[in-house]
Amino acid sequence: MTKSINVYEVGPRDGLQNETAVIPSATKIALINILGRAGFATIEATGFVSPRWVPQMADAAEVMAGIARNPGVRYAALVPNLRGFDAALEAGVDEVAVFAAASEGFSRKNINCSVAESMERFTSVMAAAQTSGIPVRGYVSCAIACPYEGRVAPEAVRDVALRLLDMGCYEISLGDTTGTGRPDDVARLLDAMVADMPASRLAGHFHDTGGRAVANVERALDFGLACFDGAVGGLGGCPYAPGAKGNLATRSLVERLHQLGYETGIDIDILAEAEQLVAGIRAMPEEVLS
C-alpha cells in the first residue's frame, strides 16, 4: 500500500503573521476557504495571541467566525496561554497549538519568558483543553539552531518535546526556525528524538532559508516521520529570527511527496488557486502594521 503523509497547512497563521501589510479579515477568510477545499486534514487558521506582539492576528475571532467550515477539516489556532485558549474555545476552534523553544534566548525573545516558565503557562492550557476535549499540538522552535545562541543540542530539543508529550500534546512539530538546517543536522536531531518517542508523534517544520527544506523532509522521511508543515506560497518566516526566509511552500512539499510515491490527498489545482490569492496579498500596499 502507498504510504500516506499528512501535510499540515500553517500559512494562514504562521505564514501571514510575518506579513507587514495590513491584510483584511475578508482576505484571510477567503484564503482559508480555498484551502479548506484542497484536501487538508488540518489548517492552522489563526492565533489567539496578544495584538501588541502579533498585530496581524488581532482579528482572530472575526476570522474564525467568517470561515466556511469544511466538515472534513480541523481548524486550529495557536494559543500562548489560558487567556488565548479561552478565546479560541469561544471562537469554536477544533484544535489548538502551544509554542515552546529549545533555546533560552529564543524563548525569552519570542514569548518573553524562560523555557521552564513557558511550560508552566501551558499547564493550565493543557488542563482546560483536556476538560474541553480539544486536541493540543506542540511546536518546538529552534530545533536545529537559534538565531541568538547558535547550534542547539538535540538533547535539549528532545527534553522539551518529551515534556510537551507528557503534558498531553498529541504531536510535536520540530521547527528549523532559522532555516539553516541540513539533512545531516536533521538526522542527528531525529536520532536523539526517536530513541525516546515514536516517530508517529513527530512532525517536521522546515523553513527554506537555505533552500534545503525539501531535502530535510526527505531525510526526515527516512526516520519514519509522516507529517510535515507547509505554508501556501511559502508564506512566513519568523519575526524573531532575523534573515529567516519563509516556510517550505506547500506545493513544493506536496509535489515532491507525490514524486516519491506518497499519498497526501491534496488537490494541486486548488492549491494553485490559493497561491494566486497569496500573490495578491504580497502585492498589497505596504500599510505597515504597528
- Exposure of 27 by Cβ count < 10 A (0-12 exposed, 13-18 middle, 19+ buried)? middle
Q: Which three cell numbers stand for residue 105?
A: 534566548
pLDDT computed for residue 1 by the predictor: 60
Residues 31-45: what's their mean pLDDT? 98
> What does the mean pLDDT of the chain come to?
93
Cβ neighbour number for residue 92 with a 10 Å cutoff: 13
pLDDT digits (tens, 9 = 90+) for 67-106: 999 999 999 999 999 999 999 999 999 999 999 999 988 8
pLDDT digits (tens, 9 = 90+) for 157-184: 999 999 999 999 999 999 999 899 999 9
- Residues 34 and 16: their CA atoms lie apart, in Å, by 15
pLDDT computed for residue 110 by the predictor: 75
- Residues 135 and 150: their CA atoms lie apart, in Å, by 32
Query: Where residue 238 falls among pLDDT bands split at 50, 70, 90?
Result: low
Q: Which residues have C-beta within 8 Å of that of residue 115, sequence separation ≥ 6?
A: 100, 101, 102, 103, 104, 107, 160
- Residues 210 and 178: their CA atoms lie apart, in Å, by 9
Q: Is residue 54 over pLDDT 60?
A: yes
- Residues 245 and 221: their CA atoms lie apart, in Å, by 23
Q: Which three cell numbers stand for residue 141?
A: 522552535
Angle between helices 268-282 and 25-36 (to 10 degrees): 170
pLDDT computed for residue 205 by the predictor: 97
193 versus 121: the higher-pLDDT residue is 193
Asked if residues 213 and 179 have their Cβ atoms less than 8 Å apart, the reply is yes
Asked if residues 27 and 279 have their Cβ atoms less than 8 Å apart, the reply is no
| Beta bridge pairs of residue 141 | 101
pLDDT computed for residue 244 by the predictor: 52
- Report, as residue numbers or ranges, the catalytic residues: 238
Q: Is residue 290 over pLDDT 50?
A: no
pTM across the whole model: 0.94
pLDDT computed for residue 21 by the predictor: 86
2 versus 236: the higher-pLDDT residue is 236
**18-22, 131-135, 278-282: segment of lowest average pLDDT:** 18-22
